[in-house]
Chain A
Amino acid sequence: MTDAAASPDKITGPTPDTAIRDAERADGPMVAADGRPLKQSLNRALRRQKMRALALIAPLLLFILLTFLIPIGQMLFRSVENQIVTDTLPRTVVSISDWDAAGGEPPSQEVFADFARDLTLAAEQRMHTRLGSRLNYEQPGISSLFRQAGRGMTDMGEEVMESLVAAEPAWEEAQTWVDLFGTPDWQAENADWLVLKDEGGMRFSIPPPEFEFRPEAREALPRTADAFADFELFSRVDDIESVAEETPWPLVHVSLAEDLAANPGAVEAFDGETRARLEAVLPVAEAEMPFDYRAAFAEMDEDWLEVSFWETLQTFSTPFTSGYFLTAADRKLTADGVQMVPEDQRIYGTLFLRTMVMSLGITLSCILLGYPVAWLLANLPLRTANVLMILVLLPFWTSLLVRTSAWKVLLQQQGVINDLLVWLNIISDANRLVLINNQTGTIIAMTHILLPFMILPLYSVMKTIPPSYLRAAKSLGATNWTAFWRVYFPQSVPGIGAGSILVFILAIGYYITPEIVGGTRGVFISNRIAFHISTSLNWGLAAALGTILLALVLVLYWLYDRIVGIDNVKLGG
């Protein structure tokens, strides 16, 4: 050795991996050659890769999000959503909260008054029937009550209006009301709009200018202004008419009478012609008041005074409700808390149980029928197995509806199977089997339809079990049965697991087949969901039932994972 520095192994200055050595000495986190922590460098290197992967799946992700996840989320949200009550009856919801149903008396005149104003606007906007159907889910009969109210509300308080008009005919004129509340600016704007409308003809669609209340008028006659605002809103938005052209609803007149009777001094806030008109009706207003809203409703229908109606309204006056879920669980939300519905109305528990039990039965029969076929497929020479596979897949290429209808032909009492059994003297002509429109029919048809979903995963798992295992077992002294049961079967369990999950989850949500061959006793929960979606239009309940079904499947999936292990589910390989 001459000079240590001249040796090629001697480090004379910093080298690319000096940093690495330093970091190793320092006992800190691993660093890359440039001195940055290794983790950070790795992340940087992988980021591009991740971005590219993300870009590749982005279109599908977006598609699924827009067409699948968001609509499903919205649908599930309907199961708790109840905003229609607060949106349609904003005043009533507030005033009824103090009412106590236990008193056995219908609510006070104030609640009825608020209800009358809310319902009038709702009736004019055609919202009252929707609200009626919503509340009808909770208490049958409410729907028709609301439908009637649609006609009744336009007449409520008519006699008060007539008295006012008799005392001062100007109150029948739309312009009188505009003069009462409208600012001069608005009146000018409105006049321009009326000219535009006359020129515009049929296709004219510009809404009239938004109404501007004179503050002092509003302050003097608060209830009237409030009622008039409802009327104005409806005319402008729903009718596209100016309030200067239409007489307000009778209930607005009632409000005016109420304001004047409560505070005769209010007339001093006005002057000129308007003041004269107000003073003209002052005695009439005092004579007519107070207005009996309860009696007005009772005149339309005695049922408006039923405590149970108001109780339902109060219970479901929150923007979100557990009512649909309770109904789906055969329970009911009452003022006294949650209660079971009467025994003869409990249907959902039975339906859920039936759906579960029958799906389990279908899964079991699929295992029993599919296992031997899958075994044969996995062990036959390729050519034969391929032909057999086509036969297994054949049902996939036939319409579900066609297959189910075919079962109808086969299974009915005068159908092929019964004919055959009678001909073979297995059963007598009088005792033909009832194979359709009951649970048997559903199980037979669905087993047939779902069988491929059992066979395919079983086949692909069995395909991976080398025949040498069975040979090894036999060479070790196991009989054919022992070799199968102790060696082959345990290895095919992942296939059974995968097939069972697939079949069970498909079965639990099946709709068409039970609908066609299930009759009344063989239908599933999904048929009930479909009924609520398309016939009764109770989407909230349908959503609640669907959510429960989804939760059930997830719970079962979780249970399966705990018991069998999801790693044990194989679709092949």
Chain B
Amino acid sequence: MADTATGTAFVAFERVQKSYDGESLVVKDLNLDMPKGEFLTMLGPSGSGKTTCLMMLAGFETATHGEIKLDGKPINNIPPHKRGIGMVFQNYALFPHMTVAENLAFPLEVRKIGKSEREQKVKRALDMVQMGAFGGRRPAQMSGGQQQRIALARALVFEPELVLMDEPLGALDKQLRESLQFEITNLAHELGITVVYVTHDQTEALTMSDRVAVFDDGRIQQLAPPDELYERPQNSFVAQFIGENNTLEGRVTQISGDACVVQLDNGEEIDATPVNVSGVGDRTLVSIRPERVEIDPQLGPDAHTLKAEVKEFIYMGDTFRTRLSVAGNDNFIVKTRNRADQVRLRPGQHVTIGWLPRDCRALDA
């Protein structure tokens, strides 16, 4: 956020609040700047306010307080049809009584673009999503994936600079979703358009976005590129919400710069990296990713080791998932790659596990 000064941002939310009933806020004090050409994903559980933000940007909801700017100009009072923002909906929202070509021509028609130019643009847009042969079909005659491609083409055909996508892949099956994810990001980068993408699927958010805004309780909990979000979550909500996560509860007993000691509730002490603990005596949730934990560790002298008991061993093909009991937590997961020499553990076995203190983050409780 610091690297994009408010003046140059393409899309900007400034202290935006939204309430539907006048009693509670759905969006609480939202500040967000997006540079041109960015692919930003709003990720969060349902009811976290992400779709409301998108609707305010599109103009279908009005902000209760604050200002939304597009290319430097406030758009609060501009009706949706004058904003020139493309939008893709979860249920595709293709007009069922029109053919594909008519659907695509619709935004051009209302912009009073001539017939020949219209046809040319429709054809180009259809080719762009590899649906050139489908112009004469009705939406009901196509599969969900095909319909969503058409919806995408329709949102792009009038060359908007900003495109909003509201869980566009939510209704598709996994394989289709993955190939479309790839296509959407490619298109967005090729065309240089700015995209705001709403989803509750974290894999989608991580694989597609330049930056991800994690929403919870009407606030952005963290706004960061995917790798930073996954590896350096700023608080325990983000750590829990993104990827799989092991947590151990405890209290900070020592803190010095970028290292601290946490005494777990069963009395054991571990080393961790302090992230948002303020001082000695604070309750903390220590977060370790399952793939950063090793069984029978050979990590060198810095590593921290603990005794653990195997509860369950799950074979998942490329990986093994081992559920352990560690320091009173029975749901401690360790993921190991399926290597040729990897030992397959049995429930009840006692093992030693270990991790590096830099992978172990002390977050707010």
B80 close to A471 (CB less than 8 A): yes
CA–CA, A476 and B107, complex, Å: 5
CA–CA, A480 and B60, complex, Å: 12
B93 close to A468 (CB less than 8 A): yes
CA–CA, A478 and B93, complex, Å: 14
Q: A476-B158, A477-B81, A477-B158 are in contact. Are A468 and B106 (CB under 8 A)?
A: no
B93 close to A471 (CB less than 8 A): yes
A477 close to B107 (CB less than 8 A): yes
CA–CA, A482 and B89, complex, Å: 20
Contacts of A474 in B (CB 8 A): 59-60, 79-81
A471 close to B87 (CB less than 8 A): yes
Q: Is chain A's interface secondary structure helix, strand, loop, or mixed overall?
A: helix
Contacts of A466 in B (CB 8 A): 91, 93
**Chain B residues numbered 74-95 whose CB sits less than 8 Å from any CB in chain A:** 79-87, 89-91, 93, 95
B87 close to A472 (CB less than 8 A): yes
B106 close to A473 (CB less than 8 A): yes
Contacts of B95 in A (CB 8 A): 469, 472-473, 486-487, 490-491
A475 close to B85 (CB less than 8 A): yes
Contacts of B96 in A (CB 8 A): 491
Report if A479 contacts B (CB, 8 A). yes
A472 close to B89 (CB less than 8 A): yes
CA–CA, A480 and B85, complex, Å: 16
CA–CA, A483 and B84, complex, Å: 15
Instruction: Mark contacts of B92-106 with chain A using CB atoms, 8 A cut-off: 1 yes-contact digit, 0 otherwise.
Output: 010111000000001
Contacts of B154 in A (CB 8 A): 476
CA–CA, A483 and B60, complex, Å: 14
Instruction: Mark contacts of A472-516 with chain B using CB atoms, 8 A cut-off: 1 yes-contact digit, 0 otherwise.
Output: 111111111011001100110000000000000000000000000
Contacts of B85 in A (CB 8 A): 475
Contacts of A479 in B (CB 8 A): 81, 110
Contacts of B93 in A (CB 8 A): 466, 468-469, 471-472
Which single member of A475, A486, A490 contacts B87 (CB below 8 Å)?
A475
Which of B80, B82, B87, B111 has its CB near the most chain A CB atoms (within 10 A)?
A: B80
- Kindly provide the distance from the CB of B200 to the nearest chain A CB, expressed in whole angstroms: 18
- Kindly provide the distance from the CB of A147 to the nearest chain B CB, expressed in whole angstroms: 67
Which single member of B58, B83, B86, B110 contacts A478 (CB below 8 Å)?
B110
CA–CA, A480 and B155, complex, Å: 18
Contacts of A472 in B (CB 8 A): 87, 89, 93, 95
Which single member of B90, B91, B110, B164 contacts A477 (CB below 8 Å)?
B110
B91 close to A468 (CB less than 8 A): yes
CA–CA, A480 and B89, complex, Å: 19
Instruction: Mark contacts of A442-482 with chain B using CB atoms, 8 A cut-off: 1 yes-contact digit, 0 otherwise.
Output: 00000000000000000000000010110111111111101
Contacts of B164 in A (CB 8 A): 475
Contacts of B79 in A (CB 8 A): 474
- 25 residue pairs of the A-B complex, CB under 8 angstroms, read A466-B91, A468-B89, A468-B90, A468-B93, A471-B93, A472-B87, A472-B95, A473-B95, A473-B106, A474-B60, A475-B59, A475-B81, A475-B85, A475-B86, A476-B107, A476-B154, A476-B155, A476-B158, A477-B81, A477-B107, A478-B81, A478-B106, A480-B81, A487-B95, A491-B95
Residues of A within 8 A of B (CB): 466, 468-469, 471-480, 482-483, 486-487, 490-491
Residues of B within 8 A of A (CB): 58-60, 79-87, 89-91, 93, 95-97, 106-107, 110-111, 154-155, 158, 164
Shortest 4 CB-CB contacts between residues of A and residues of B: A476-B107, A472-B93, A475-B87, A468-B93
